[in-house]
Amino acid sequence: MRMNLKRQKKKKKKILKIVIMIVILLTIMIIVFIKHYSQKSLPILLSYAETETKKLTILIINKAVTKEISNIETDELFNIIYSPDGDIQMVDFNSQNTTKILSMMTSLVELNLRAIEEGKIDMLELPDNSLESYNMDLLAKGIVFEIPLGVVTDSSLLYNLGPKVPVRLSLIGDVSTNFKTEIEEYGINSALLKLMIDIEVTTRIILPVVSDEITIDCSIPIAIKIIQGKIPEYYINGLTTRSNMIEEK
């Protein structure tokens, strides 16, 4: 009887050791798998988040600027100086009007991006239905979009499956706005003047376990004007305004 009890105890100890070994091995395998999966998935998630954040930021900038373009008298933004023969000698910006408009555009872009960052979508200064393709409930929580973990599988069948990773953005650095002109020959004895506004912003993409900074720039045409006369040898090609934002540490 005692021998049987000893054998049973030894058998139980062996089984317990085997179970413990299996648990340890499974734990190690899970840790290795999670580490490998994280190393593989994070770059994919960041790349996806960067693409979508750029798309949303450029959309907001374009919609905000386009809304204000209709209120701008483009002829008042620059001065064209002609020679006695009627040729264009110089194209120069009207510093008073351009500085005012650039400051307004800078503030407008900053206001809208800050509103998105903080989830204050009622403060957005955009045309109606500008963000109709986005989830407004998520935007109200400060989440610009969610990435399904299925995107890391690179499979169209699994693309939308799995838990979703929320992505937020944070505006850092300065918002920089710049008027730029391009002038070229057009037809006979005429010039084509293109007036554009360049906008550059730096944002931080924030995921639950990682963040990254990206610089986004876009160029939006303000006006295209045909001017009678030859192309001038000299013209002002830029005027820049930056916001007064404090860079986050």
- Distance, in Å, from the CA atom of 195 to the CA atom of 237, rounded to the nearest integer, reads 9
pLDDT digits (tens, 9 = 90+) for 123-151: 888 888 888 888 888 888 888 888 887 77
Per-residue model confidence (pLDDT) at position 244 = 46
Q: 140 — phi, psi (to 5°)? A: -65, -20
Per-residue model confidence (pLDDT) at position 29 = 75
Judged against a pLDDT cut of 60, whether residue 38 lies above it is answered with no
Find out whether 175 and 243 touch, Cβ atoms under 8 Å. Answer: yes
Q: Sheet holding 234-235: strands in order across?
A: 78-82, 88-93, 234-235
Judged against a pLDDT cut of 70, whether residue 23 lies above it is answered with yes
Average pLDDT over residues 16-26: 82
Find out whether 102 and 241 touch, Cβ atoms under 8 Å. Answer: yes
How much is the mean pLDDT over the chain?
Answer: 76
- Report the SS3 class of residue 78: strand
Per-residue model confidence (pLDDT) at position 229 = 61
Maximal C-alpha separation, the chain: 125
- Distance, in Å, from the CA atom of 192 to the CA atom of 98, rounded to the nearest integer, reads 20
- Distance, in Å, from the CA atom of 214 to the CA atom of 172, rounded to the nearest integer, reads 10
Q: 225 — phi, psi (to 5°)? A: -130, 135
- Provide the 8-state DSSP code for 98: H
Per-residue model confidence (pLDDT) at position 155 = 60
Judged against a pLDDT cut of 50, whether residue 246 lies above it is answered with no
Judged against a pLDDT cut of 60, whether residue 204 lies above it is answered with yes
Per-residue model confidence (pLDDT) at position 7 = 66
Per-residue model confidence (pLDDT) at position 183 = 75
- Distance, in Å, from the CA atom of 87 to the CA atom of 82, rounded to the nearest integer, reads 5
Judged against a pLDDT cut of 60, whether residue 50 lies above it is answered with yes
Name the residue among 178, 175, 198 with its Cα closest to residue 245. 175
- Distance, in Å, from the CA atom of 234 to the CA atom of 228, rounded to the nearest integer, reads 16
Judged against a pLDDT cut of 80, whether residue 165 lies above it is answered with yes
Supply 229's token pair: 């006369």
Comparing 219 with 249, the larger pLDDT belongs to 219
Q: 210 — phi, psi (to 5°)? A: -155, 155
Per-residue model confidence (pLDDT) at position 211 = 83
- Report the SS3 class of residue 73: coil
In this prediction the pTM is 0.69
